[in-house]
Amino acid sequence: MLFLNILKAYMPLPIPLAQFAELAVKHRDYLRRLEKEGKIKFTAAFLGKRARVIIFDVESDEELFECINADPLFNYMERETHALISNEKVYSIYEGIEKASSKKTPAKKFKRE
């Protein structure tokens, strides 16, 4: 299952910058570990902001919950999460809709009495 996770640091920071920086190093190491485990498909920081995007590739929403809650910066980041679907699956759905709509059923004729 794919999930898009958008993280933004709370502003103003609720902790001293030095403490946040220490946690950011732990956060980086944590993300690297998840990447090696195959649980993160993509991650990148937003330029000029204390924000990041992560695409998780996990087995369940419970596993996603565990990954998010184990993040060293969990308490200091606002998160927005969206479930994703692959283009292959979306295109398959579109094809099904197209087939269903192309099957024209003749309109019933009603007799007026």
pTM of the shown model: 0.79
Per DSSP, helices labelled H in the chain are: 17-36, 61-69, 87-102
Q: Are 3 and 56 in contact (CB under 8 A)?
A: yes
DSSP three-state, residue 28: helix
pLDDT the model gives residue 107: 58
Q: 73-107 burial string, b = 16+ CB within 10 Å, else e?
A: beebbeeeeeeeeeeeeeeeeeeeeeeeeeeeeee
- The string of pLDDT tens digits covering residues 12-21 is 999 999 999 9
| Domain 2-102: which CATH number of 3.40.50.1370, 3.30.1240.10, 3.40.50.300, 3.30.70.1060 | 3.30.70.1060
- The string of pLDDT tens digits covering residues 19-35 is 999 999 999 999 999 99
Joined together, the tokens standing for residue 86 give 């692959």
Spatial separation of the C-alpha atoms in residues 105 and 97, rounded to whole Å = 15
Residue 4 CB partners (closer than 8 Å, separation 6+): 53, 54, 55, 81, 82, 84
